[in-house]
Chains A and B, each alone.
Chain A
Amino acid sequence: MDGDDQQMRELQLIFIEEGKQSLADAEETLMALETTGFDVELVNKAFRLAHNFKGSARTVGFTELGKLAHKYEDLLTSIKKETLALSPKLISALLKCNDTLRKELLETQANPEYIPNVDAAIEALTEAASGGESISATLSAVPSTPEPDWTSGFGFFEDEAQKPALSQPTLKKINTPKAATPSVADETLKIPAQRLDVLLNIIGELVVNQSILDERRAKSDTGSPMAVQAIGYMSKLISDIQSLSISLRLVPIKPLFQKLRRTARDVADSLGKQVNLVEEGDYCELDKGVIDRMADPLNHMIRNAMDHGVDTAEERQKLGKSPVATVRVSALTQDDQVKITISDDGRGLNKDKILEKSIKNGLIKKGDELTDEQIFALIFAPGFSTKDQVTDVSGRGVGMEVVQRAVEDLKGSIRIESALGKGTTFEISLPLSLSIIGGMVVEANGQSYIVPVSQLVETIELNKYSIETVTGTGRTLNLRGEVLPVYNLASILHRKRGPVLKNKPDKDGVPPSRPALVTHYRGKKITFEVDKIVNQQKIVLKRLGKEFERIPGIVAGAVLSNGEPGLVLSLDQLVSGGD
């Protein structure tokens, strides 16, 4: 590739990013059209988006994409002129065309030499426009016809790119959706210019204060009030930069919600269920990494809610519920956490069925006593599915385990509430940022460890409670009527039996403090006795070496405020042993 090609590739990448946005906007518009019916404004908007997409695609040499966009635009023109009636079928066809464009766009992003194939999609659109009956059948066959039109590939790759593109592996790639995932290096982020301006302003201030300090140092006058003031101001500026730099990676959750809406629509359509999808808090912002990682799991959960959760209109009427089901997706920012909730007013989880299935699959033994939340947690076990028949909608070999794994990878947690006949609620808590967390620094066996504040319910003083030792169960305490098991952090981490600190009074008769952390574990609360609670700090998470990968409970490294390295613990993983 010479310089021109490189420049063109850069332009292409810009187009791909913009194109993704236009497609998302177009999708939103089409779905709005579906609910409102014909609306000139909306049709115009979709038309403009398609038109711009077509133009830009051609400019950067994506002739094939341009061709499809052209057809798409044609259809919208006909709708606009009202020579073609807007039908749900037509909207479905346009949405599918939108999907094809997005898929091809992602392929071109992942592989510069990829040549999009849009013939089938164009044919399908033509058929939809002529009112053909077999629209959906034709469209679903789109990805499986890799018969590329080599002669019209994008011009500037012709000499060098065609040969490798013709070879078998590349053709295979066309059928693998995974290949479309862009690598991290290609990842781009849209940042509001205003945030960058603020950042530049703060850095400017920092420079001013630095020169004040430099001048004082030159005069050997670093203790002067002016210098002290500058230092104080600088530390405020630095903490501003810190929070601002985290916000640079935050992106709104809205596009993800939009994707979920689309999934819900498609699934409801294919199952013939009537569902009203309610979105709340789509203005919430999350780290881009979190959003990317959660997109598929959330999509899966929506499918699940539509397929397994939502009952049919007849079932609903029998129970005296409104025939239209409601699925609610909401996001809520709370401190440094984001809570994503997916709830439905459908069937609810059937505990008996879950238990039966789990016993059959050997996940639990007959006679095991489990709390409701423990039973619900079983649906996260690998290969679990309560639906008697695997359906095309959600039975694609990815279970709820995928959801749990993603949530755990992101250091989040998930809770289920469900009532038979009334519905199910999944509540996912995720850290706002992947890099900085609130941490409680505690000591165990003379070593300091960090526990994310997000995992803590409260801290208590064990001396104020009576601790019972029950043979076989270990130590327990009664916290406001709730019986909680008491673990000792030092014992678990350093395999020393028994509490490290004895409850012996000092010489003044005051017993030494025995602090403990209360945390959630599989729907219950548990306590962790620690030697000492040091303080609460903002913790910058650091990646640990691969050596730590298989050690449950140790999730990250960190540098403490005294410069010492520290380990960030996940208390529930410590207890579960990474099960």
Chain B
Amino acid sequence: MTTASTTKIDATLLDSDVDEAKHLVFRLADELYATPLSSIREITKMQHVKPVPFMAPCFRGILNLRGQIISVVDLRLKFDMPCPEPNSGLLIVVDTDNGPIATIVDDVVSVNDFDQDSIETNLALKTKVPVEFFTGVGHLGERLVNIIEIGKTLSNEDFAIVRRMKDQAVGL
């Protein structure tokens, strides 16, 4: 027992050491976004996503990732951005408080360090990301990058659009 818990603590220390500044930069339409690398489980190419009823449009459906059923959310639709083709883009699998969720992004750009100090947080911006998950804006060369907490954005969202179907079901 003792050994197990010690290892765990060590691993957490190690993780936060390495990952705090590392961010994954990805593209949605023509905007750049970044999110802490620690919350990313994997990046995979687009695959067959099966649509699911009763869900908001940005909830694209579910996919079979090596035997695990994972929900897929299209970030472009979630942030009200143009979305050329439903099957374009890449899948980023994110660890959220509610388990893994795959998100569709247009492209993955790079992995970059964004120190806490270099992120501008005092911005009077109107963003599509809820303000509590919007960390700030960072610089990547000439460009500005929106830094978000992608895991939190996804786990707090309620994707269900239909919860009671009684009225609807009767009389069909």
Residues of A within 8 A of B (CB): 1-3, 6, 9, 447, 472-475, 487-488, 491-495, 497, 542-548, 550-554, 557-559, 563-567, 574-579
Given A6-B1, A547-B98, A554-B54, CB of A542 within 8 Å of CB of B168: no
* B residues in contact with A550, CB < 8 Å: 158, 160, 163
Residues of B within 8 A of A (CB): 1-2, 48, 50-55, 59, 61-64, 67-71, 98-101, 155, 157-160, 162-166, 168-172
Whole-angstrom CA separation of A516 from B52 in the bound complex: 21
* B residues in contact with A548, CB < 8 Å: 71
Given A551-B54, A552-B163, A559-B69, CB of A492 within 8 Å of CB of B169: yes
A408 → chain B closest CB, angstroms: 16
Among A2, A447, A493, A545, the most chain B Cβ lie within 10 Å of the Cβ of: A545
B4 → chain A closest CB, angstroms: 9
Across the interface, B169 reaches (CB within 8 A) one of A472, A558, A575, namely: A575
B68 adjacent to A546 (CB under 8 Å): no
The 4 closest A-B pairs by CB, nearest first: A557-B69, A546-B98, A577-B166, A493-B53
A488 adjacent to B69 (CB under 8 Å): no
Given A547-B98, A551-B163, A552-B163, CB of A487 within 8 Å of CB of B62: no
Whole-angstrom CA separation of A38 from B91 in the bound complex: 72
* A residues in contact with B169, CB < 8 Å: 487, 492, 574-575, 577
B172 adjacent to A565 (CB under 8 Å): no
B67 adjacent to A559 (CB under 8 Å): yes
Given A492-B169, A546-B99, CB of A557 within 8 Å of CB of B163: no
B163 adjacent to A565 (CB under 8 Å): no
B65 → chain A closest CB, angstroms: 9
B69 adjacent to A543 (CB under 8 Å): yes
A494 adjacent to B53 (CB under 8 Å): yes
* A residues in contact with B70, CB < 8 Å: 545
B170 → chain A closest CB, angstroms: 7
* B residues in contact with A565, CB < 8 Å: 50, 61-64, 69
B164 adjacent to A492 (CB under 8 Å): no
* B residues in contact with A9, CB < 8 Å: 1
Question: Nearest residue in B to A445 (C-beta to C-beta)?
Answer: B53
Whole-angstrom CA separation of A473 from B50 in the bound complex: 33
Whole-angstrom CA separation of A3 from B159 in the bound complex: 48
Question: Nearest residue in B to A544 (C-beta to C-beta)?
Answer: B69
B165 adjacent to A6 (CB under 8 Å): no
B99 adjacent to A545 (CB under 8 Å): yes
Whole-angstrom CA separation of A554 from B114 in the bound complex: 41
A491 adjacent to B171 (CB under 8 Å): no
Given A493-B53, A577-B166, CB of A545 within 8 Å of CB of B98: yes
* B residues in contact with A544, CB < 8 Å: 62, 69, 71
Across the interface, A492 reaches (CB within 8 A) one of B63, B71, B99, B168, namely: B168
A472 adjacent to B171 (CB under 8 Å): yes
Beyond A474-B171, A547-B98, 12 extra complex contacts between A and B, CB < 8 Å: A2-B2, A447-B50, A492-B165, A495-B162, A543-B99, A546-B99, A551-B55, A551-B162, A553-B165, A554-B53, A563-B64, A577-B165
B94 → chain A closest CB, angstroms: 11
* B residues in contact with A578, CB < 8 Å: 163-164
5 A-B pairs (CB sep. < 8 Å): A3-B2, A473-B171, A487-B169, A557-B69, A565-B62
